[in-house]
Amino acid sequence: MNQLSKAILKLMEKDEKEAFRLLFEHYYDSLLLYSLHVLNDLAAAEDVVQDCFAILWTNKRLKNFEGDLDHFLFGMVKKRSCLYLQEHQRECPVPENLEREMPVEDCQPSETEQDEIDLLYRTIDKLPEKCKRVFLMASLHDKTYQEIADELDVSVNTVKTQMKYALKFLRDNLKKDDFQSILLLLTKKV
C-alpha cells in the first residue's frame, strides 16, 4: 500500500471528512478510468464510481479498515461495474444473431487479463499528482493538449512535458503489452 493510502486511513480516525476528501481527490479519476474500461460508457462509469464513494461514506466502511486500500477500492468498482453490466443486459438484450456471433460472456476479461488491467490502473495511480491529472485529462476526458493547458492555466509545453513523463513512467513500470494497451487507448482518441 502506498504512503498516501496509509495516511488517508490514519486520518480517517481523526478527521473523516478531510480523509474522505483526500480519498476522493486521489482515487476518483483512476477508478473512473477503470470503470470506463469495463463499461465503455462514461456516464455509467461516473454513476458506478460515485455510488461506490456514496456507499463508503454512508456505511463508514473505511473507519476501521485494515488491508490494501488500492485493492479494495478497485475491487469494489470492478464488482459494481460488473453488476451494472448484468442489470442492464436484461434491460437491453443483445440481438440473437449478435449473441451467437460473440456471446456476452466472451466480452468479460479472463482472470489473467483482469489482473493485467488492475496492474495498469494501479500503475497509473502511482504517477505524481499533476502528471496523473494531465494524463487522465488526455486519455479519459479526451482533451487536447491546448484544452488541458487552458484549463490548468499552464503552457502547452508543460502539458507535453507531463505527458512525456507519464508515458516514460508507464513504459518503465509496465510490461510491453500493457504499455501498448495505453498507447492504443490514447491513439484511438486522436
Confidence check: pLDDT of 62 > 80: no
Share of the chain above pLDDT 90, in %: 11
Res 58: pLDDT: 79
149 pLDDT exceeds 90?
Answer: yes
Domains delineated in the chain: 1-111+121-126 (1.10.1740.10), 127-190 (1.10.10)
pTM equals: 0.54
| C-alpha to C-alpha distance for 186 and 170, rounded to whole angstroms | 13
- Residue pLDDT, tens place only, 64-99: 777 778 888 888 898 888 888 888 774 444 444 434
Going by C-alpha positions, the residue among 97, 98, 23, 86 that lies closest to residue 54 is: 23
State the pLDDT at residue 109: 52
Query: Does residue 152 contact residue 134 with C-beta atoms inside 8 Å?
Result: yes
| Cα dihedral 129, 135, 136, 142 in deg (nearest 10) | 150
